[in-house]
Amino acid sequence: MFRWFQQFHKDQALPADAGQLSKDLLASLMVMAWFVEAKDPYTGGHLWRVSRYANLVARAGGLPDADIARVTLGGFLHDLGKVAIPDAILNKAGKLDDNEFTLIQTHPAAGGRMLAGHPLGHLVAAAVELHHERPDGRGYPYGLTASMIPTDAAIIGVCDAFDAMTSLRAYRKPMPLDKVLNILRAESGRQFSQFWCNHLLALAEEGVLDAIMGHSDNGIPLHTCPHCGPTVLQQSDDKPGDLLACSVCHSEMRLCEEDHQLRVKPTGKKAPVAAWQPKADNLLIKRMIEESITHIPLEQLIRFARG
């Protein structure tokens, strides 16, 4: 597949299957990101939520459609580098020690290295490698300051933090929204870009983000295991009556609809091995790619691929 992009240097016209190849290449990145997220049983839906927040913030800030599409993809892929972080650190319930935190701080650079050989890596490189940079220069991995931080990274940085604070983690429960917004106001211009932070604050205060918080896809609420607490992911094509499983304690649950809301109820059984193994939500990924790729001109994809 990658040879096609190398061959393009010699071609005068775009191949007929260029669009599909671009979609396939993006899918390869997004499936990889999905399995990285699956390493942490408490972060289910994080990539989708950050992607949707980033889309809304970028749109509120007046970016062109092609830039919004790129930022949306970057939001989904920003944590690629966590594949290099041991599960014991990602899933630690207590406070990280200095050595563990130093290791966590390597994930943006690791993600950048992973993208270096990918033909479409440049589309999301800033989002992946620089989303933990801060305007005050105290971020990582490079200690960049405000004017040096690309727009994509600035948007995803504040959206990532917002989702982390409003979501369940192994080490704490979700913070109340009012507390999260107060933290963002206090850190605006220091930890977060003031311009993009203000747009996220406005969207949150208007209730625009409510349908994303606590969800893993449009209209799909997050479920938690009633036995041990982590997220139990519902796939886009799951429906009432289907069986789900906890990836930690392997309890089997049935998806039920009550009062127009989806819930999980334990069956009292252990789920078969195949049920609790991570499985990419291919329908969600395909939909996101279709939504994004229509707004990114093919010539721009090729230009990025050329490097």
**Catalytic positions:** 82
Q: Strands 243-245 and 220-221: what pairing?
A: unpaired
Distance CA 128, CA 110 (A): 9
CA-CA-CA-CA dihedral for 297, 302, 306, 307, to nearest 10? 30
Distance CA 163, CA 260 (A): 26
Residue showing tokens 């130093």: 102
Residue 5, φ and ψ in degrees, nearest 5: -70, -35
Tokens coding 176: 């109340």
- Angle at which helix 151-166 crosses helix 121-130, to 10 degrees, equals 60
Cβ neighbour number for residue 170 with a 10 Å cutoff:
15
Residue showing tokens 């650190």: 89
Nearest alpha carbon to residue 233 among 248, 249, 244, 219: 244
Distance CA 189, CA 225 (A): 38
Amino acid identity for residue 134 in this structure:
R
Residue 45 near residue 230, CB atoms below 8 Å = no
